[in-house]
Amino acid sequence: MITVLAGGVGAARLLRGMVRAVPASDVTAIVNTADDVVLHGLHVSPDLDTVTYTLAEAGNPETGWGLAGETWQAMDALERLGGHAWFRLGDRDLGTHLHRTGRLAEGAGLAAVTAEIAAAWGLELTLLPMTEDRVATMVTLARCDEAREESSEQTSEQASREVGFQEYFVRLGHSVAVESVRFDGAQESLPGPGVLDALADADVVVIAPSNPIVSIGPLLAVPGIAEALRSRRADTVAVSPIVAGAALKGPADRLMRELGHEASVVGVARLYRDLAATLVVDTADAGLADAVEAEGMACVVTDTIMSSAEVAADLSRRILEVSR
């Protein structure tokens, strides 16, 4: 049994390799839901969908999100009406959100709905939302220095600079400086059905190469998950999402720097050393292996840039070797 802590694109790519390295039914992914968002009344779960579509080999390889061969009639119509179309929902993708929203309204839990959708796509791995409660990543944008001097009412001003994760990530294209991140609702949330068991029962726990702040961070903010993970430290392998000081995709490097972390495999080691015994880093970072080990983690150097399912499968096999 392999349990993978997962965000979106990076995790999806690793999982695509993992189900080639071991039987898919041995793999469980605990997936971030803190960037779920209600758009136009529909419950959208971007990370769950990215993992599902990628594993179903139905994902759009160019964007990393959405479905291949998608059409955009609904968004085009929405735009003609003057609606907000910055979060692009493809027509086929809308089927997923319509179904999820309808089932949730009928009283089904997100875990059950996620399992239904995965089954409909023929997936044999287990996808678990980290929680069925509402947890929302909220991002406070940094203000520029001028505004800082002029501002007097600090609290309300800070509140006005706080945006939801998708507004930061998609609408603003994560091209703005961030002052802080919080996970609204996390303290009151419970781990989703099966989550703690998946951590307790796993032979190996893997922290996928997802954004440590906004993809893995929310999982650790759900009471019980970090504790369960710490108790499995010896069997936990993290894969660095930072390669040669940069994120392969998304704002992980920038966010780490802005929030006071070093944007390097050493910075990743400092975030994960209490949770995982081993950090897998890319060959590009071989020179930092000693520095990683100085943080108290074993460091494994291998190819981590998953340019194909085969590379991802090799990486997965290496992770499993390391953990034995």
Where do contacts with a second copy occur on this chain (CB under 8 A)?
Answer: 38-43, 71, 73-84, 89-99, 101-103, 105, 116-117, 120
Closest CA to 227 of 266, 195, 252, 259: 195
For the CB of residue 190, give the shortest distance to a second copy in the complex, in Å: 24
Whichever of 81 and 144 has its CB closer to a second copy, that residue is 81
Whichever of 71 and 187 has its CB closer to a second copy, that residue is 71
Cα-Cα end-to-end distance for the chain: 13
Locus of tokens 């070093």? 262
How many Cα atoms within 13 Å fall on the side-chain side of residue 260? 3
Q: How do 278-282 and 298-302 pair as beta strands?
A: parallel
For the CB of residue 250, give the shortest distance to a second copy in the complex, in Å: 26
Whichever of 136 and 219 has its CB closer to a second copy, that residue is 136
For the CB of residue 34, give the shortest distance to a second copy in the complex, in Å: 20
Closest CA to 128 of 176, 192, 75: 192
For the CB of residue 181, give the shortest distance to a second copy in the complex, in Å: 25
For the CB of residue 91, give the shortest distance to a second copy in the complex, in Å: 4
How many Cα atoms within 13 Å fall on the side-chain side of residue 202? 30
Whichever of 164 and 245 has its CB closer to a second copy, that residue is 164
Whichever of 99 and 257 has its CB closer to a second copy, that residue is 99
For the CB of residue 115, give the shortest distance to a second copy in the complex, in Å: 12
Whichever of 20 and 92 has its CB closer to a second copy, that residue is 92
> C-alpha 200: how far from its chain's center?
21
Q: DSSP state, 67? A: B
Note whether 164 and 37 are within 8 A (CB).
yes
